[in-house]
């Protein structure tokens, strides 16, 4: 049975509510952890064995550019800190995480960062493929529009038959906004993320058309009945209408909080591991045992 969009939207709302929330929430049982090292941000999401989100951390970070980790130390520090906060919140010890890579890039770029953060790599998957698996798609394309790239995975008979990635993402949208309003890049980026109406969408429609061109070239020669969108750039108000107009005859589906869908899918993809009791609690127990003994 396929995971319905309604169910995934429920998980995404839950994830959005957890982001960067350190409130203690002790957890016992099996869990899995996904780390998404993006060009715009780094996210760590913990889910239970059934895929229900337990903790989530996100930091805007400029440590990956054009498929290369430009600040290796910075990236591993952020991962280490996000994993530490998740461990504290849930009272678990996290030793293994699953990570991802954009299609066509070297997965070692991500796995090296994970290892430098002192963690084991439990698994690695390309980003749009992880989403295809979470949504249990049979015939469709997943399009991931992140900060730096637009990636596509084509799924036929439940298998990813092709995945590709090309430069053009949210960064290019922000550059157009910066140019138009004469703003520094960072201010344009903030203005974009804070926008709640469709006003900016007209201005950046040529960038969205370029993203659609990339996707058209990715899906050329394949019969794609539906496109499932993911990635933070799809959250721009009005994005869906402009993008979907480029694909007459194809259903284009936008989840709620698309910024969290790829990292949620990476976490869900990994094998569940039993939560070892947190170091601190183990120490307390040992102390108790010694007292009793
Ligand atoms: N509400 C919003 N409206 C418009 N854009 C947004 C919004 N929220 C986030 N973004 C954009 O989404 C992008 C980040 O998305 P995401 O986390 O999917 O990218 P990434 O994984 O870091 O990048 P990539 O996949 O290209 O390596 C940024 O460019 C950011 O500006
Ligand atoms: Mg991404």
Q: What are the domain boundaries of the chain?
A: 8-282
Q: Is the CB of 133 under 6 A from ligand 1?
A: no
- pLDDT tens for each residue of 69-86: 889 999 999 999 999 999
Asked whether 218 and 164 are in contact (CB, 8 A), the reply is yes
Asked whether 126 and 152 are in contact (CB, 8 A), the reply is no
- The answer on pLDDT for 289 being more than 60 is no
Asked whether 255 and 143 are in contact (CB, 8 A), the reply is no
Which helix H or strand E contains 80, and what residues bound it?
helix 72-90
* Residue indicated by tokens 């060009």: 39
Report pLDDT for 102.
Answer: 87
Strands of the chain, DSSP E: 30-37, 41-48, 53-60, 64-65, 68-69, 96-101, 120-126, 140-145, 149-156, 159-167, 226-230, 251-253, 273-274
Report pLDDT for 20.
Answer: 98
Arithmetic mean of pLDDT, 45-54: 97
- The answer on pLDDT for 279 being more than 50 is no
Q: How far apart are CA 170 and CA 191, in angstroms?
A: 12
To the question of domain 8-282 being in CATH 3.40.50.1100, the answer is no
Q: Is the CB of 242 under 6 A from ligand 1?
A: no
Q: Which of 242, 64, 78, 292 is nearest to 165 (CA)?
A: 64
Q: Is the CB of 128 under 6 A from ligand 1?
A: no
**SS3 at position 265:** helix
**Cα 66 to middle of ligand 2, angstroms:** 12
**Cα 127 to middle of ligand 2, angstroms:** 7
Global confidence as pTM: 0.92
Ligand 1 atom having least distance to the Cα of 150: 26
Residues with Cβ within 5 Å of ion ligand 2? 38, 146
Of all ligands present, the nearest one to the C-alpha of 240 is: 1
- pLDDT tens for each residue of 232-270: 999 999 999 999 999 999 999 999 999 999 999 999 998
């Amino acid at each position: 049975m396929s995971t319905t969009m309604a169910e995934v939207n429920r998980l995404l709302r839950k994830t959005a509510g957890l982001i960067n929330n350190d409130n203690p929430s002790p957890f016992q049982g099996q869990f899995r952890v996904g780390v998404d090292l993006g060009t715009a941000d780094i996210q760590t999401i913990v889910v239970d064995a059934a895929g229900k989100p337990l903790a989530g951390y996100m930091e805007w970070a400029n440590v990956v550019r054009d498929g290369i980790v430009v600040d290796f130390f910075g990236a591993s520090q952020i991962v280490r800190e996000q994993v530490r906060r998740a461990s504290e919140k849930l009272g678990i010890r996290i030793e293994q995480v699953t990570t991802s890579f954009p299609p066509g890039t070297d997965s070692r770029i991500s796995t090296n960062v994970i290892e430098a953060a002192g963690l084991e790599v439990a698994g690695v998957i390309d980003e749009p493929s992880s989403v295809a698996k979470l949504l249990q798609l049979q015939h469709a394309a997943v399009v991931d529009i992140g900060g730096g790239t637009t990636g596509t995975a084509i799924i036929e008979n439940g298998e990813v038959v092709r995945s590709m990635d090309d430069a053009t993402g949210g960064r290019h949208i922000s550059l157009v906004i910066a140019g138009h309003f004469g703003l520094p890049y960072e201010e344009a980026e903030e203005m974009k993320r804070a926008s709640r109406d469709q006003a900016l969408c007209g201005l950046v429609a040529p960038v969205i058309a370029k993203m659609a061109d990339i996707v058209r070239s990715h899906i050329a020669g394949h019969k794609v009945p539906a496109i499932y969108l993911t990635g933070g750039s799809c959250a721009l108000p009005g994005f869906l209408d402009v993008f979907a107009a480029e694909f007459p005859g194809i259903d284009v589906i936008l989840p709620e909080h698309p910024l969290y869908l790829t990292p949620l899918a990476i976490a869900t993809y990994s094998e569940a591991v039993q939560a070892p009791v947190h170091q601190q609690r183990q120490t307390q127990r040992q102390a108790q045992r010694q007292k009793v003994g």
